[in-house]
Amino acid sequence: MLTAPLTIWAIPGIPEIVTGDDLAEVIGQREIDLRDGDILAVTSKIVSKAEGRFVQADDRDQAITDETVRVVATRGMTRIVENRLGIVGAAAGVDGSNTPVGTVLLLPLDPDASAAALRAALEARFNVRLGVIITDTLGRAWREGQTDVAIGSSGVRVLDDLRGTLDAQGRRLDVTVPAVGDEIAAAADLVKGKSEGLPVAVVRGVGHLLDPEAPGARVLTRTGPNDMFRLGSDEAYAEGFAAGKASHGQGV
């Protein structure tokens, strides 16, 4: 059985990104050899910086509120919210590390569109078929620590729907839909790191996931009726308590 290796490496020497930088130009100027089927995993931070998504740090709380669609849970200083991209996480993605002093950084306005633009420019420059994934770091319910996930993508199937395929005994694998976009983001984080100035990784060996028509990473977000955790337990309990108390004497 042939098993193609997966190889992932960070592109060295990417300079500090400032507002107005052309990321395809910055990445393209590095010594890289991009091939058909490669996927670039790009930290959302440099996309935001290139797009000038800075706000003054003294407005950080206001920035979080502005980016928030819905508060899910609050505990102490921690605000778990759904942001305007449909992503549930702490602080709505407003980022205060590795930004110029006095500023914080918002997420890209439309990470799927940013990924599509970067892909188009790099494909033209290198004359290859690529995928682009824009990553961010998210905490998780029930698990310690954070992992990188895909918040934007272009040209890559981020959900690899195996429903309908058969297992080795001929039974259907009917509930398995690997979130390969998130798995690629997580894999890339292992070489990009957080503080070393390595915001772009090349992922080679999963070219079978390339699909120019694939929907963006927005499909990875689950909100609305399928979300069993739309509120933190304390918040939902408190809502229920108030409603239960009010219901008394109303024949409920």
Residue in 31, 33, 127, 143 binding a copy of itself, rule: CB under 8 A: 143
Shortest gap between Cβ of 244 and a copy of itself (angstroms)? 3
Using rule CB under 8 A, residue 50 touches a copy of itself: no
Shortest gap between Cβ of 124 and a copy of itself (angstroms)? 26
Of 19-27, 63-71, 74-82, 116-124, the segment contacting a copy of itself by CB under 8 A is 74-82
By CB atoms closer than 10 A (0-12, 13-18, 19+), residue 131 is buried
Of 17-25, 26-34, 120-128, 146-154, the segment contacting a copy of itself by CB under 8 A is 146-154
**Alpha carbon 4 to chain centroid distance?**
26
Question: Using CB under 8 A as the criterion, what x/- string covers residues 106-135 for binding a copy of itself?
Answer: ------------------------------
By CB atoms closer than 10 A (0-12, 13-18, 19+), residue 168 is exposed
Coil, strand or helix: which one is 184? helix
By CB atoms closer than 10 A (0-12, 13-18, 19+), residue 19 is exposed
Looking up tokens 């290796």 gives 5
Sheet with 68-75, side-by-side order of all strands: 68-75, 78-83, 88-90
Using rule CB under 8 A, residue 215 touches a copy of itself: no
Using rule CB under 8 A, residue 198 touches a copy of itself: yes
Shortest gap between Cβ of 224 and a copy of itself (angstroms)? 11
